[in-house]
Amino acid sequence: MSENVERPRDPELAALDRLVGTWKVTGGAEGTVTYRWMEGGYFLIQEVDLTQYGERIKGIEVIGRERPFGAEGPGEDLKSRYYGHQGDTLDYVYELGGDVLTIWGGKKGSPAYMRASFDSTGDVLSGAWVYPGGGGYESVSTRVERPQGDH
């Protein structure tokens, strides 16, 4: 199979295209996050550079469907793994329904999650992280840059 063959895009994963670009994050964490597609379109990469509670949070997250060695097809959920500069590896599940993005901590249905809504322009994402036992925080992300060629 030629490397240049166009593959059918996973519609649920392709919907996360709304995240592509650089976002200024304010609220309980402050800084920037940038989303971009990895070549092939199977994974969305997030680069994180934030400050929270006076500590720097820097890392990358890879978002897509798991397809382990020997699997006949991709997994059901859009999963991710975050790799942080202090050795953290955190797993999440992404769900986008209409204008509402939910990021579940660990697995779908977890008591730790972020739920946020896009505004009518698609350039502001407002919501909150919820943690069991409290300690969550509100967050607003405003797109400050789109990749060239996007409208």
Q: Cα–Cα distance between 86 and 99 in angstroms, integer? A: 33
Q: Which CATH architecture has domain 11-145?
A: Beta Barrel (2.40)
User: Which residue reads 């990358």 in tokens?
Assistant: 60
Q: Cα–Cα distance between 141 and 149 in angstroms, integer? A: 22
Model confidence at 14, in pLDDT bands (50, 70, 90)? very high
Q: Cα–Cα distance between 114 and 73 in angstroms, integer? A: 28
Is 60 exceeded by the pLDDT of residue 7?
A: no
pLDDT in tens, 85-120: 999 999 999 999 999 999 999 999 999 999 999 999
Identity at 24, one-letter amino acid code: K
Q: Is 59 helix (H, G, I), strand (E, B) or coil?
A: strand
Q: Compute φ and ψ for 15, nearest 5 degrees.
A: -60, -25
So where are the chain's domains? 11-145
Q: Cα–Cα distance between 97 and 65 in angstroms, integer? A: 17
How large is the average pLDDT for residues 38-48?
Answer: 95
Instruction: Write the CA distances from 17 to 81, 126, 133, integer angstroms.
Output: 18, 17, 33
Instruction: Tell me, yes or no, if the pTM score tops 0.85.
Output: yes
What integer best gives the mean pLDDT of the chain?
A: 92
